[in-house]
Structure 1
Amino acid sequence: MGSLADKLAAQNPAFQRAYLGSLAPNLVKSGNLDKYYQTLTDFDFLVAKLNHPEFGVQPLIEDYDLIDNQEIVNCPEYKVEKVKILKLIQGALRLSAHILVVDQQQVGTQLHGRLLNQQISAEIQALLTQIQQKTTTPWLRSLTPSLTPPGGRLIRTLTGHSNSVNAVAVTPNGQQVISASDDDTLKVWNLADGKELCTLRGHSNSVNAVAVTPNGQQVISTSRDKTLKVWNLATGEELFTLKGHNYWVNAVAVTPNGQQIISASSDNTLKVWNLATGEELFTLRGHSNSVNAVAVTPNGQQVISTSRDKTLKVWNLATGEELFTLKGHNYWVNAVAVTPNGQQIISASSDNTLKVWNLATGEELFTLRGHSNSVNAVAVTPNGQQVISASRDKTLKVWNLATGEELFTLNGHSNSVNAIAVTPNGQQIISASSDNTLKVWNLATGEELFTLRGHSNSVNAVAVTPNGQQVISACADSTLKVWNLATGEELFTLKGHSSWVNAVAVTPDGQRVISESFDYTLKVWNLATGEELFTLNGHSDSVNAVAVTPDGQRVISASYDNTLKVWNLATGEELFTLNGHSDSVNAVAATPDGQRVISASYDNTLKVWNLATGEELFTLNGHSDSINAVAVTSDGQRVISASWDNTLKVWNLATGEELFTLNGHSRSVNAVAVTSDGQRVISASHDNTLKVWNLATGEVIATFTGESIIYCCTVTPDGETIVAGEQSGRMHFLCLEGMTGG
């Protein structure tokens, strides 16, 4: 009979378009819901519509919305459980939409990774089986549920900025989101489908804040270029620029009547402007340090400002008079919000807390504690019942304003969360982060299905034991974790370092682990017991990388102090130091015969050393930026290097000749691994992707996109399982499938 894909391939483009566009709507319209359910769980249909040039991910997502038609609910074929299944698939597509827009081939990888935890239905299991059976190109299959699943509070991710996103605002009609970034731009997004509508360009430095006028017609932005700009939201045109501050402008608020703007600056002042004319009306002086945030009361009569001087001030907007000062925080006050009834103020501080104040009296009512780092932003829901906070600890928290109780935490960003906006209906939150993304969350509903287990901070390095049974990961939380590679289960944690653990290696006999840290030390551990055996001291700066010789007798360490050191692993004695790099040494690898060492450095070079004598043999030049990682093929003939210049290079180790360059990553390449047969290279990048390459041809075989920067990767000795660690703390266990010939 042939699959749907085969049938469509035999039809002309006009038929394909008509068929794919009308199939789901016609099935719902005719009440043939059983066929509708089957269609939207058919992997062939998903792939065909996603890949069709006139459709794509958003039209596919919208097909699932047809089941919400009120007339359909009373149809005899309407089945609540099947609707739940469709919503999970739709949710998985929505969570992956920003990836599938640019790489449709990852549909199987993304759906499988997000639905793997859904053991509730035969339909989901059948779809996962279809993905494995029908994916015709090589793909990376998640072995454990390490991607954010559908059904939780995260709805979608908005990507497009090339640097930290500092601020976000929602239009009064709740239809558009405006974001401000360190990439000097603002972007306007459609909240319904996550589509980027336009980019506002004009600032010459980071854009720090954004506000929308009450009529939804204008956007006001503030920048490190010391100015504010007023934009026409409908056309994206810059209307005029407000100049007057003599340092960064950090925040802006618009009065409820839309007639005035109040700006806050690192010049320690606030300024009040006439929005119609751009005229500066007056300046509010009183803070003794940078003013970080500003809010206006709902009646438009008062302004509240927060400062690095640890205080909040309340001002009379009509006269510019300072009414009183709120003291209580013991560090910078970063943000402020006013409740809709104008009775309370909520402040957010770098002392990791929020405080709730009585605006009439200036009295501190209570403190909200729970964040583990600076609280950067705060918002109040339109009904005045909940407070949402954003923190440098990468999370958002939702609080009951009446009781001060923490209701739940939103996890998903991989870096500091800098700003929050709440939609006018109070159902969604939009967060902006230093991970360059915005995320849209469901505040009203959405049960948290489970917590992704793993590290609580960035995973910097991973290694596999020689028997392929365990993985050891190194983390910025100062720990290492040992995992069962077959199940993904965490076995135990190694604690002892006092700072970030940067690198890890396993001895050839699989009995010991060597770790390196920002605390300038290496530690040797008994892998069976988790016991720390001894510490290697000698470097004068952070230790970045480690390698063990094939005979298991020596350890080579690489450091920020520009050197490598060779150690006797049995005694812990330092044998000698390799000097030659002019900057930090980031990575090191030993050849299979144990006779040479290859080092990679911030000085953009690799060096090849004689391990017996410590002599530098030659230097490999070619990268245009820092080299982050290096690997040697099992035959000892080729070296692969990974760099901040977004490339990998393959070198002939005998001659030092550059053979070719692997291009495909859009940001720094952080790690590299080679399969034991020397046929494939695995790379991990700042662009959130892991790529598998054919080493013979230099072509990309398959790509996996994670949820934050992927800092490290390794591959099992049999070449079947790839392990990668993310900045978010997630660990990904992946299997390359779809290769011809096994």
Structure 2
Amino acid sequence: MLRSYILAAIVLCNDSIGSYGDEVTPVSFRRDIAPILLDSCIACHGPKKAEGGYRVDTYNELLKPGDSGETPIATMPDQVSEFLRRITCDESERMPADNDALTPDQIVLITSWIAAGAKFDGQNPGESVGLVIPPVQYLDPPDVYSRAVPITALTFSPDGKQIVTNGYHELVIWNTKDAKLVRRIKNVGQRVFALAFAPDGKTLAVGCGQPGRSGEVRLVDFESGAIKAVVARTSDVVLDLAYRPGADELAIAAADSTIRILNVDTLQEIQTIASHADWVTDIAWSDDGVRLASASRDKSAKVYDGATGELLSSYLGHGAAVRGISILADNQQVVSVGSDNKLHRWNVDGANKVAEIGVGGEGQKLLRVGANLYVPCSDTRLLRIDLATNKISQVLKGHRDWVLTACSQPTTLGDSDIPSIASGAFDGEVRIWSIADAATVQAWIAKP
């Protein structure tokens, strides 16, 4: 059987695979082989579960023998590749063992790739196969949504005249004056959980992905809507983003439990922080960029040295998932909120709690504006907390579903000298609030 597959592969490869006119495109590990490994092999041969002691989660691991000692990917013509033998043999030994066999076309690709030298065409052979796959061109979203999507991310444009909200595989931009649709930016991940403008206001970082499957950050030229780069690809969705004050760096929090720090000029990762044991739900820099804080579903909140990533403090007082975090202006204290329905204020040094405020619902990502803190809550309210007194100073009511996110206007609306606040809810509603009197300036369902 193996001989017949190999002969068929050679014929098919010469006749059609990757051909265009008289040219033959070489089989690519990134484009052709990695997706097969991700879809059909990694569930049983990954870092957490390695049947037979064999892993395929990276190119480097793919080349290493398992417990049998057989060469998985042969580099010499007279050698047999155990990997190829196992995907083409009879059912008693065939892999995948518990799923459908690979298709003839997939086997052709693998055979042709091995015959051509089994080369790696990515940048890092130790990187997960899910991350070496080239960025996809996503399908266009529907022209008209049948239902609203939860507003999990929103931000004002740099001039304060527009609001950007998440959509389905897109960003949707609205006019703040009349809540009218302005334009749509396509080709982003299925779900968007974080938006952050670069300090120059020209590039919008989009944290997105498909839950449980993949995540990434797409850098968008805001004026044109063009995708400038795709960076920080992860095995699960990106949940938050934060540009470091005074430095060309972007911190990225993901559901794969890591924090990545990226140089936005070179687009290279500077460091990865793997201190949490579960989703990293929120991150925040100190005002001077010296410290970085993180919140996690593992029930902890942490503070790191911004330059080295060294863990400085770990707070475990919530006893439940932590959803939001912020470092206060003095760099000595942190506020965090989560599923225990409480806001905790604690010292970085010693990680001891100094104050606690009940917020009436599960708190989400925190927004700090000067001496005030805004807490989106699952009880449909957006709360303003006075950090000087540790008391709720304003309650913004009007949403009818969980409030998931909030952002502050960088400039002012109308004649007010106080920036407005916008919030987004699970039912797809966006509200713009006048902080002076807690009145709603605009409210609409952000559904194209």
TM-score (norm 2): 0.60
Rounded Cα–Cα distance in structure 1 between residues aligned with 2:327 and 2:182? 30
SS in 2 for 1:282: strand
Rounded Cα–Cα distance in structure 1 between residues aligned with 2:354 and 2:173? 38
Amino acid of the structure 1 residue aligned with 2:282: A
Change (3 A) 1:416 1:190: same
Rounded Cα–Cα distance in structure 2 between residues aligned with 1:344 and 1:175? 34
Deviation at 1:707, TM superposition (A): 8.3
Change (3 A) 1:197 1:359: farther
Mapped pair 1:221 → 2:206: yes
Q: Which residue of the other structure, out of 253, 277, 281, is the alignment partner of 1:264?
A: 253
Deviation at 1:398, TM superposition (A): 1.6
Rounded Cα–Cα distance in structure 2 between residues aligned with 1:436 and 1:365? 36
Which residue pairs with 1:24 in the alignment? none
Flag structure 2 segments of 5+ consecutive residues without an equivalent. 1-143, 412-417
Mapped pair 1:200 → 2:173: no
Which of 1 and 2 has higher RCO (CA within 8 Å, sep 6+)?
2
Deviation at 1:408, TM superposition (A): 2.9
Which residue pairs with 1:345 in the alignment? 334
Rounded Cα–Cα distance in structure 2 between residues aligned with 1:176 and 1:189? 5
Query: What per-residue deviation string (whole Å, max 9, x for no partner) do you get for residues 492-548 of structure 1?
Result: xxxxxxxxxxxxxxxxxxxxxxxxxxxxxxxxxxxxxxxxxxxxxxxxxxxxxxxxx
Deviation at 1:164, TM superposition (A): 0.7
Query: What per-residue deviation string (whole Å, max 9, x for no partner) do you get for residues 541-561 of structure 1?
Result: xxxxxxxxxxxxxxxxxxxxx
Mapped pair 1:444 → 2:436: yes
Q: Is the 8 A contact 1:213 1:258 kept in 2?
A: no
Amino acid of the structure 1 residue aligned with 2:386: N
Which shows bigger deviation, 395-404 or 354-363?
A: 354-363
Change (3 A) 1:345 1:184: farther
Q: Is the 8 A contact 1:395 1:411 kept in 2?
A: yes
User: 1:566-585, aligned counterparts within 5 Å?
Assistant: none
Query: What per-residue deviation string (whole Å, max 9, x for no partner) do you get for residues 386-409 of structure 1?
Result: 221111111111222111222232
Query: What per-residue deviation string (whole Å, max 9, x for no partner) do you get for residues 246-287 of structure 1?
Result: 211111111113511111111111111111222122100111
Q: Which residue of the other structure, out of 155, 159, 167, is the alignment partner of 1:169?
A: 155
Rounded Cα–Cα distance in structure 1 between residues aligned with 2:180 and 2:332? 37
Mapped pair 1:358 → 2:347: yes
Q: Is the 8 A contact 1:172 1:214 kept in 2?
A: no
Deviation at 1:447, TM superposition (A): 6.8
TM-score (norm 1): 0.37
Which shows bigger deviation, 263-272 or 241-250?
A: 241-250
Which residue pairs with 1:331 in the alignment? 320
Rounded Cα–Cα distance in structure 2 between residues aligned with 1:338 and 1:190? 31
Change (3 A) 1:302 1:218: same
Query: What per-residue deviation string (whole Å, max 9, x for no partner) do you get for residues 327-363 of structure 1?
Result: 2101100111233454432212011111122345533
Query: What per-residue deviation string (whole Å, max 9, x for no partner) do you get for residues 31-73 of structure 1?
Result: xxxxxxxxxxxxxxxxxxxxxxxxxxxxxxxxxxxxxxxxxxx
Mapped pair 1:433 → 2:425: yes
Q: Which residue of the other structure, out of 176, 179, 190, is the alignment partner of 2:175?
A: 190
Q: Is the 8 A contact 2:319 2:340 kept in 1?
A: yes
Amino acid of the structure 1 residue aligned with 2:375: S
Runs of 4+ in 1 over 4 A off after TM superposition: none
Q: Is the 8 A contact 1:208 1:250 kept in 2?
A: yes
Q: Which residue of the other structure, out of 297, 302, 314, is the alignment partner of 2:303?
A: 314
Which shows bigger deviation, 212-221 or 416-425?
A: 416-425
Rounded Cα–Cα distance in structure 2 between residues aligned with 1:207 and 1:434? 13
Mapped pair 1:380 → 2:368: yes
User: 1:536-547, aligned counterparts within 5 Å?
Assistant: none
User: 1:116-127, aligned counterparts within 5 Å?
Assistant: none
User: 1:677-692, aligned counterparts within 5 Å?
Assistant: none
Change (3 A) 1:432 1:258: farther
Q: Is the 8 A contact 1:377 1:390 kept in 2?
A: yes
Rounded Cα–Cα distance in structure 1 between residues aligned with 2:424 and 2:272? 30
Which residue pairs with 2:126 in the alignment? none
Task: Name which one, 1 or 2, has greater alpha-carbon Rg.
Answer: 1
Amino acid of the structure 2 residue aligned with 1:195: K
Q: Is the 8 A contact 2:254 2:279 kept in 1?
A: yes
Q: Is the 8 A contact 2:291 2:331 kept in 1?
A: no
Rounded Cα–Cα distance in structure 2 between residues aligned with 1:175 and 1:260? 26
Q: Which residue of the other structure, out of 377, 381, 386, is the alignment partner of 1:395?
A: 381
Rounded Cα–Cα distance in structure 2 between residues aligned with 1:447 and 1:280? 43
Alpha carbon RMSD of aligned pairs, Å?
A: 2.4
Q: Is the 8 A contact 1:227 1:249 kept in 2?
A: yes
Deviation at 1:172, TM superposition (A): 4.2
Deviation at 1:313, TM superposition (A): 1.1
Which residue pairs with 1:239 in the alignment? 228
Mapped pair 1:415 → 2:393: no
Mapped pair 1:178 → 2:164: yes
Rounded Cα–Cα distance in structure 2 between residues aligned with 1:707 and 1:178? 13
Change (3 A) 1:257 1:237: farther
Rounded Cα–Cα distance in structure 2 between residues aligned with 1:418 and 1:278? 30
Amino acid of the structure 2 residue aligned with 1:197: V
Flag structure 1 segments of 5+ consecutive residues without an equivalent. 1-158, 449-705, 709-742
Q: How many residues are paired up?
A: 289
Amino acid of the structure 2 residue aligned with 1:437: E
Query: What per-residue deviation string (whole Å, max 9, x for no partner) do you get for residues 549-591 of structure 1?
Result: xxxxxxxxxxxxxxxxxxxxxxxxxxxxxxxxxxxxxxxxxxx
Mapped pair 1:287 → 2:276: yes
Q: Is the 8 A contact 1:179 1:187 kept in 2?
A: yes
Change (3 A) 1:258 1:219: farther
User: 1:315-714, aligned counterparts within 5 Å?
Assistant: 315-359=304-348, 362-371=351-360, 373-381=361-369, 383-384=370-371, 386-424=372-410, 426-446=418-438
Change (3 A) 1:258 1:167: farther
Identity of aligned residues (%): 24
Deviation at 1:199, TM superposition (A): 1.6
Change (3 A) 1:361 1:199: farther
Rounded Cα–Cα distance in structure 1 between residues aligned with 2:394 and 2:199? 30
Query: What per-residue deviation string (whole Å, max 9, x for no partner) do you get for residues 206-237 of structure 1?
Result: 11111111221111111123111001111111
Q: Is the 8 A contact 1:333 1:348 kept in 2?
A: yes
Rounded Cα–Cα distance in structure 1 between residues aligned with 2:409 and 2:329? 14
Q: Which residue of the other structure, out of 170, 174, 195, is the alignment partner of 1:210?
A: 195
Which residue pairs with 1:460 in the alignment? none
Deviation at 1:193, TM superposition (A): 3.6
